[in-house]
Amino acid sequence: MLREFTCIICPNGCEIQAQLENGVLTSMTGHTCPKGEAYVRQELTDPRRNIATSVRVQGGELPLASVRLTNPIPKDRIFDAMAEIRGISLKAPVEAGTVVIAQILGYESDVIVTKSVALRG
Amino acid sequence: MEKRDVIIVGGGPAGLAAAVQLHKKGVANILILEREHHLGGILRQCIHDGFGLSRFQTALSGPEYAARFIEEVKRCEIPYQTDTTVLEISPEKVVTAASREGLVQYQAKAVILTMGCRERTRGALGIPGERPAGVFTAGVVQAYMNLYNRMPAKEVVILGSGDIGMIMARRLTLEGAHVQAVFEVQPIPSGLPRNIEQCLNDYGIPLYLSHTVTQIHGDSRLTGVTVSQVDEKLRPIPGTEKEYACDTLILSVGLIPENELSIDAGVQLDGRTRGALVDEHYQTSVEGIFAAGNVLHVHDLVDFVSMEAERLADAAALYVTGETLADCPLGIRTDENVGHTIPQRVSGKADFQLSLRVRRMMKDCRVVVRQNGQEVAAKRMKKALPAEMIQFVVRADKLVSQENLEVSVEC
Ligand SMILES: Cc1cc2nc3c(=O)[nH]c(=O)nc-3n(C[C@H](O)[C@H](O)[C@H](O)COP(=O)(O)OP(=O)(O)OC[C@H]3O[C@@H](n4cnc5c(N)ncnc54)[C@H](O)[C@@H]3O)c2cc1C
Ligand code: SF4
């Protein structure tokens, strides 16, 4: 069976054709680098994605601080992760890089702040 | 009037990268003027990750990518002024700006244009129908959600397959809105394949090519849109109309370089990019006025923006220290497959980075640069897409004459 993938690891977006026999990968064409191969192997067994969203900030010059995951988590847990992140509220000032949830849902992935928010002045 | 070696108009990634590079080259009498309260440009609202893969070999979010340059600007103590809007640039390089303290004027030796771009709006498309609330451009929705904590939509239809629209389709879905579909009038998507995959396919959002919104419904708030299929000439096909009930229509139909200031300064524009015509030094038709980033031509990757601005700064640093930049008499012509190139003129004496976009999708092709019919540079492409800017270096020692260059795509 032939399965097609669009690699999302970098902006090249290579189209990868993977040949499967009884669900086992037998060959692959179209990837430009080894990361593409790793991506397809991951997609076949345990597709993972990163997410970016925001958390509320009290008393800040902005009402929100953006956050992201440090590592991708299983695709089907994304809405669970969103629900957990939605419960967070921070107090200004907030520094980029701060971990707001360690090991979200028990995965090797932290939720970190990506934009510093200063006190409302 | 206060004198500056370089005034940088716009503190987005292009302006910041130019400033840091000028500083590295020993040009210290710089000033960045930024309209917003913060430096960083549009990246401040692009909270998704995927920035910096080329520049920093790691996937950063927009704010983190911007912060790397902002920290560098602060560390080098490069002067900048936010809440300051440039109103006019004269051909003599007098820069007039409105700040909190009132009007300020500077005499610059060189001016760097890095004002970015704006989004095309419904007006530019001419969709008939009412003018209800609920029709936004994708960047405006991005600002609402990511900067101001406002959720503007529940039932959403997106017109245009630009990257920002697709990224907002995912963002809205994560926040609980229902994105029904993305419609694209062209037969191919205008955004990157990876965004179709991770923003639409991942969330089961369909993308319909060769479809467009032909009617908008609603009085005070949008209640729905009519969508039609289009033919090869992009004309709606009668009988294909379908109604979609929605409270929000998001437009992601392209970006236009922001060049009102440039035109007033006497800078000649290229009708294809709607940005300045530049030479290999990124110098415009007005001596001492340079341009890079989205104000020059619309980029899809901020990494390319920063690197372009750094190359600009290398040339601008020479210019302000009194060196004459090499004359650029060689034009760059294109065939019908190539939308445009940057630069449009070169000296033929130095290596230069050629940036271009193709006009249609082509597979297994080569982008070829010729002089007197002879091949002087080429890049092989497995797939060339209008959505992806193509870049490669053309080496001066390969050039064969002082004739114009011709860029074509061959399959
Ligand atoms: C809504 C939107 C979303 C985008 N999302 C992505 C993305 O997800 N990934 C990606 O790689 N690229 C994205 N892009 C492309 C992005 O624009 C570039 O990657 C990059 O930000 C361009 O940098 P720039 O410095 O040329 O322009 P900008 O970032 O737009 O910066 C221009 C700056 O100039 C300032 N300015 C303009 N006029 C004046 C004036 N008269 N006086 C003073 N200051 C002025 C503006 O306030 C702004 O800060 C997006 C673009 C837009 C419009
Ligand atoms: S295969 Fe390699 S080059 Fe191609 S998209 Fe994936 S990471 Fe990028």
Q: Is the CB of B139 under 6 A from ligand 1?
A: yes
Q: Which residues make Cβ contacts (< 8 Å) with residue B137, sequence separation at least 6?
A: B119, B120, B121, B250, B251, B252
The tens digit of pLDDT for each residue in B101-123 reads 999 999 999 999 999 999 998 66
pLDDT at A23: 82
In chain A the domains, ranked by start, together with CATH numbers, are 2-45 (no CATH), 52-113 (3.10.530.10)
Q: Which residue of chain B has the CA closest to A11?
A: B194
Amino acid at B270: D
pLDDT at B105: 97
pLDDT band at B22 (very low <50, low <70, confident <90, very high): very high
pLDDT band at B127 (very low <50, low <70, confident <90, very high): confident
Whether the pLDDT of residue B130 is over 80: the answer is: no
Whether the pLDDT of residue B202 is over 70: the answer is: yes
pLDDT at B192: 92
- At residue B261, the 3 state secondary structure works out as helix
ipTM of this complex? 0.94
The tens digit of pLDDT for each residue in B376-397 reads 999 999 899 998 999 999 999 9
Q: In whole numbers, what is the pLDDT of chain B averaged over residues?
A: 95
pLDDT at B212: 96
pLDDT at B126: 75
- Among A15, A62, A116, select the one facing B147 at the smallest CB separation: A62
Strand partners, B236: B230
φ, ψ of residue B202 in degrees (nearest 5): -55, -30
Q: Which of A49, A114, A116, A120 to mutate to test the interface with B (most CBs of B within 10 A)?
A: A114
Segment B132-161 shows an average pLDDT of: 95
- At residue B71, the 3 state secondary structure works out as helix
pLDDT at B270: 97
pLDDT at B61: 96
pLDDT at B55: 87
Nearest Cα to Cα of residue A115 among A62, A72, A73: A62
Alpha carbon of B257 to those of A4, B198, B292, B310: distances in Å? 36, 27, 11, 19
pLDDT band at B287 (very low <50, low <70, confident <90, very high): very high
pLDDT at B124: 62
Nearest Cα to Cα of residue B189 among B173, B205, B171: B205
Segment B396-405 shows an average pLDDT of: 94
Q: How far apart are CA B219 and CA A83, in angstroms?
A: 35
Segment B313-323 shows an average pLDDT of: 97
The tens digit of pLDDT for each residue in A57-111 reads 999 999 999 999 999 999 999 999 999 999 999 999 999 999 999 999 999 999 9
pLDDT at B121: 86
Q: Exposure of A18 by Cβ count < 10 A (0-12 exposed, 13-18 middle, 19+ buried)?
A: buried
Rounded to 5, what percent of chain B is helix, strand, coil?
25, 35, 40
- Side-by-side strand order, sheet with B211-217: B211-217, B224-229, B242-245
- Among B53, B64, B194, select the one facing A114 at the smallest CB separation: B64
Above pLDDT 90, what percent of chain B?
92
Contacts of B146 in chain A (CB under 8 A): 54, 64, 66
φ, ψ of residue B339 in degrees (nearest 5): -70, -50
A106 touches chain B (CB under 8 A): no
The tens digit of pLDDT for each residue in B57-104 reads 888 999 999 999 999 999 999 999 999 999 999 999 999 999 999 999
pLDDT at B93: 98
CA B81 to chain A, closest CA, distance in angstroms equals 18
User: pTM (2 decimals)?
Assistant: 0.94
- CA Rg, chain B, in Å? 22
Q: Is the CB of A37 under 6 A from ligand 2?
A: no
The tens digit of pLDDT for each residue in B294-306 reads 999 999 899 999 9
CA A24 to chain B, closest CA, distance in angstroms equals 23
Q: Tell me, letter by letter, the H, E, C secondary structure of A23-40.
A: CEEEEEECCCCHHHHHHH
Segment A27-50 shows an average pLDDT of: 94
CA A52 to chain B, closest CA, distance in angstroms equals 5
B169 neighbors B158 (Cβ within 8 angstroms):
yes
Above pLDDT 70, what percent of chain B?
99
Range in B115-124, B189-198, B351-360 with the lowest mean pLDDT? B115-124
